[in-house]
Structure 1
Amino acid sequence: MRTFTKLKLLALSGLTLTLFICANESNAAYVCAGKIDAISQPYEGSVQLLSAQLYGDSTPRTICNLKSAWNGVDPATCKGWLAALLSAKAMSSVVNIQYNDTTTACPQQAAYGNASAPWAIW
């Protein structure tokens, strides 16, 4: 009976350690919301978003690339996102961009191509 209790304790300890490791490695989802100041499309195919309301400044953040996959976002998804962004800009609507990374706030998103790829845009 004592061996069974020790095994249960050992299994519980392993589960706790696994959960702790997974919790520390996981990314947190957060949403940036605001109006778009400008959308830039440089020659290499990237789509860059400028928004002081979203990011706290007017430095461009790369969202995706229309020519090739960028940070896991394929060009087909990029085209859909660009359409949504252009529509929001034209209507002066608020856009929501969800990120799922280790950054904890929208103003901390890196500039230009160093930004994390969005998880979703609506």
Structure 2
Amino acid sequence: MRSRKHRAKAMKIAAVADGVNSVAFNEEKKDQMVIIGDGVDAASLALCLRKKQKITIEAQIQCDKCRSQAMKIAVAEDGVISVAFQGPNRDKMVITGDGVDAADMAKSLRKKLGYADLVSVEEITEKKA
């Protein structure tokens, strides 16, 4: 974890999960959390701790077949939640997910489509009401 503030936020998220009795950070490695409890679902806890991100990739897409092929490639990656096309020519792919490797995604699209340029990777922050 980058700072004390990030560690505190991660501890708060983990502490409210079902079945958690105690949460602490490993003394040697401050980036490892030790969670003790009964019936703790590690997968759902990991999903809560991951950061969602929005990846924008510009690709040369001339036809609907290429568009569907690009969508299949994007959806096949681990952690992808949604894929949408934007822009006047629908040539920008907006991929939302958590733990998605943006460089690997662009490389896969480049291999199949010929041209794919990674435009931006942004962290999605949830707004408090």
Give the structure-2-normalised TM-score. Answer: 0.29
Of structures 1 and 2, the one scoring higher in RCO (CA 8 A, sep 6+) is 1
Larger Rg, first or second structure (1 or 2) = 1
